[in-house]
Amino acid sequence: MRDNKKKVFLKTFGCQMNVRDSEVICGLLERQGYQISDDEDKADIVIFNTCSVRQHAEDKVWSAIGRVKAKIIGIVGCMATNYRQAIFDKAPEVDFVVGTSDIAKIPLIIAEIEKHKDSFLAKKIYETDSDHREDEIYHTGFHLDKEHAFVVVSEGCENYCAYCVVPYVRGRLRSRPYSDILAEIKEDIDAGITKITLLGQNVNMYNYKEVNFIELLKLVNSVNGLKEFSFITTHPKDTTAKLFQAMNDADKLKKYLHLPVQSGSNRILKLMNRGYTREFYLDLVENYRKIVKNGTLTTDIIVGFPTETKEDFQDTYELVNNVGFDAAYIFKYSVRPHTQAASLSDDVDKKEKERRHSLILELQKRISLKKR
Residue 17 contacts which entry, ligand SF4, ligand SAH, ligand F3S, none (Cβ below 5-8 A, type-dependent)? ligand F3S
205 binds ligand SF4 (CB under 6 A): no
In the bound state with ligand SAH, the residue whose beta carbon lies nearer, of 28 and 51, is 51
3-state secondary structure of 137: helix
In the bound state with ligand F3S, the residue whose beta carbon lies nearer, of 149 and 157, is 157
B/e letters for 129-152, b = 16+ CB within 10 Å, e = fewer, are: ebeebeeeebebebbeeeebbbbb
Q: Are 174 and 206 contacting, i.e. CB atoms less than 8 angstroms apart?
A: no
In the bound state with ligand SAH, the residue whose beta carbon lies nearer, of 37 and 263, is 263
**What is the gyration radius of the CA atoms in the chain, in angstroms?**
22
302 binds ligand SAH (CB under 6 A): yes
Binding mask 43-62 for ligand F3S (x = CB under 6 A): --------xxx---------
In the bound state with ligand SF4, the residue whose beta carbon lies nearer, of 166 and 328, is 166
Contacts to ligand SF4 from residues 305-344, by CB under 6 A:
none
Q: Are 58 and 40 contacting, i.e. CB atoms less than 8 angstroms apart?
A: no
205 binds ligand F3S (CB under 6 A): no
Q: How far apart are CA 257 and CA 233, in angstroms?
A: 8
Contacts to ligand SAH from residues 139-168, by CB under 6 A:
163-164, 166
Q: How far apart are CA 177 and CA 193, in angstroms?
A: 21
Residue 24 contacts which entry, ligand F3S, ligand SF4, ligand SAH, none (Cβ below 5-8 A, type-dependent)? none
We find the least distance from the C-beta atom of residue 130 to ligand F3S, in angstroms, to be 16
> Which of 56, 160, 177, 322 contacts ligand SF4 by CB under 6 A?
160
72 binds ligand SF4 (CB under 6 A): no
We find the least distance from the C-beta atom of residue 233 to ligand F3S, in angstroms, to be 10
Residue 336 contacts which entry, ligand F3S, ligand SF4, ligand SAH, none (Cβ below 5-8 A, type-dependent)? ligand SAH
Task: Compute CA distances 166 → 19, 79, 158, 159, whole Å.
Answer: 16, 10, 9, 9
We find the least distance from the C-beta atom of residue 279 to ligand F3S, in angstroms, to be 28
Closest Cα partner for 231 from 273, 272, 265, 259? 259
* CB within 8 Å of 207: residues ≥ 6 apart: 175, 213
Q: How far apart are CA 256 and CA 299, in angstroms?
A: 11
3-state secondary structure of 174: strand
* CB within 8 Å of 363: residues ≥ 6 apart: 317, 320, 321
153 binds ligand SF4 (CB under 6 A): no
Q: How many residues bind ligand SAH (CB under 6 A)?
A: 17
We find the least distance from the C-beta atom of residue 314 to ligand F3S, in angstroms, to be 28
In the bound state with ligand SAH, the residue whose beta carbon lies nearer, of 7 and 274, is 274
Q: How many residues bind ligand SF4 (CB under 6 A)?
A: 10
Alpha helix (H) residue ranges in the chain = 16-31, 55-65, 78-83, 86-90, 106-116, 166-170, 178-190, 213-221, 241-249, 266-271, 278-291, 310-323, 350-371
Residue 302 contacts which entry, ligand SAH, ligand SF4, ligand F3S, none (Cβ below 5-8 A, type-dependent)? ligand SAH
We find the least distance from the C-beta atom of residue 28 to ligand SAH, in angstroms, to be 25
Query: Strand pairing of 195-199 and 207-208?
Result: unpaired
Task: Catalog residues that contact ligand F3S under the rule CB under 6 A.
Answer: 14-15, 17-18, 51-53, 78, 165-166, 169-170
Task: Catalog residues that contact ligand SF4 under the rule CB under 6 A.
Answer: 157, 159-161, 164, 166-167, 201-202, 235
